[in-house]
Amino acid sequence: MDKQEIIRWLKCEDEAELEQLWQKADQIRERHVGKSVHLRGLLEISNICARDCHYCGIRTGNDGLERYRMPEDEIVACAHEGKDYRYGTVVLQAGEDYGITREWMAALIRRIKKETGLAVTLSLGERSDEDLVAWKEAGADRYLLRFETSNRELYDRIHPPLKGTHVDRQALLLRLREIGYEIGSGVMIGIPGQTYDDLAEDILTFSRLDLDMIGVGPYIPHHDTPLGTDDEALKAPEGEQVPNTEAMTYKVIALARIACPDANIPSTTALATLNTATGRELGLSRGANIVMPNLTPRKYRAMYEIYPAKACIDETAADCRACMQRRIISIGRDVGAGRGDSPNRSKEKAA
């Protein structure tokens, strides 16, 4: 697909035509990654963040938020719970929290690997090369780092640098692959200032980076952030601004599947937040093959408020497990066994 074709799909409103897009993405998903939906237990281990991202509710400038960092034993206990639920992976996500030191994290990864054998995915932001190498050596398998938007000017505007240094997230993703991680990335859809051209470029970038995992979700305004105002001046010109809608999210999931047939693609919580009734299922029927049930203890969930009214905030880990299974089975799919490694990466290794 070239950029013009992607833009045409992103702008398409014709239900019958879109039905063809959903079907094509679903067929490619079935052929390349199969029927199984893999479960990744998501653990939000800290909401402490050094960054001041203009879109995110846990940004450092948000003083209204109570902060937490989960203790090691509690994280390991949650990983065991994930293993009991037969999740193949635990995803350790946090704000960019430099209280999470290289040594502490390495010891935690070693313990989780030794005690549970689960695949470990990290999503801890822009960390030093030494940290990333040490965590790989400790046994981490995958790293998630969204580049958020491929429009560099927009990205720099909404993601202020730390101590004046802009990190190129796309270059960092390539470095993560070199270190040996499976790499995951993605974007928010409908960021104020994001154009159709930008979003089409994002999809082409997924393919260029040859991502093993692609996570996309709608941008959801948070009232305590600079982007979360109704300021029209932040938006792209009329007709060019991408809407942050459910429909646009399905289009990006489907186009990402067509552009990257072997990638693991989750049906995200942000999508489920826009449509709690059927968002997850529709995402899975239009190209996605992964869900990430929340394993975070309930007492912390409301504090990890990256955007308001996040889906599943009042549920327990057990509720999330049961709910995901029911949704997967309701659409004629099955829950995947094992780690759910990226077929993209296995094919690359075999070659």
Residue choice 81, 96, 201, 305 for contact with ligand SAM (CB under 6 A): 96
Query: Contact, 108 vs 131, CB < 8 A?
Result: no
266 binds ligand SAM (CB under 6 A): no
Q: Which of 163, 46, 140 is nearest to 95 (CA)?
A: 46
Taking the complex as a whole, how short is the minimal distance between the CB of residue 294 and ligand SAM, in angstroms?
13
d(CA 290, CA 101): 30
281 binds ligand SAM (CB under 6 A): no
Taking the complex as a whole, how short is the minimal distance between the CB of residue 114 and ligand SAM, in angstroms?
25
The strand pairing partners of 295, in sequence order, are none
Nearer to ligand SAM, 94 or 328 (CB): 94
Of the ranges 25-33, 90-98, 149-157, 322-330, which one interacts with ligand SAM (CB under 6 A)?
A: 90-98
Nearer to ligand SAM, 21 or 120 (CB): 120
Lay out the site mask for ligand SAM across 128-157 (x = CB under 6 A, - = otherwise). -----------------xx-x---------
Nearer to ligand SAM, 184 or 336 (CB): 184
195 binds ligand SAM (CB under 6 A): no
The strand pairing partners of 321, in sequence order, are none
95 binds ligand SAM (CB under 6 A): yes
The strand pairing partners of 40, in sequence order, are 89
Question: How many residues belong to the chain?
Answer: 351
SS3 92: strand
Lay out the site mask for ligand SAM across 24-63 (x = CB under 6 A, - = otherwise). -------------------------------xx-x-----
SS3 318: helix
CA 197 to chain centre: 22
190 binds ligand SAM (CB under 6 A): no
Lay out the site mask for ligand SAM across 60-89 (x = CB under 6 A, - = otherwise). ------------------------------
**CA 227 → CA 13, 51, 52, 207, distances in Å?**
27, 15, 11, 28
Nearer to ligand SAM, 221 or 343 (CB): 221
300 binds ligand SAM (CB under 6 A): no
217 binds ligand SAM (CB under 6 A): yes
Alpha helix positions (H), 48-87: 72-84
Count of positions on this chain that bind ligand SAM (CB under 6 A): 19
Alpha helix positions (H), the chain: 3-11, 15-33, 72-84, 102-116, 129-137, 152-158, 169-179, 196-209, 246-259, 269-274, 279-285, 298-301, 317-330, 343-350
Nearer to ligand SAM, 8 or 146 (CB): 146
Taking the complex as a whole, how short is the minimal distance between the CB of residue 169 and ligand SAM, in angstroms?
8
**CA 138 → CA 96, 114, 120, 176, 313, distances in Å?**
20, 10, 10, 15, 31
- Beta strand 119-123 with 142-144 is parallel
Residue choice 25, 300, 307, 321 for contact with ligand SAM (CB under 6 A): 307
Q: Which residues contact ligand SAM by CB under 6 A? A: 55-56, 58, 93, 95-96, 123, 125, 145-146, 148, 188, 217, 219-220, 222, 270, 306-307
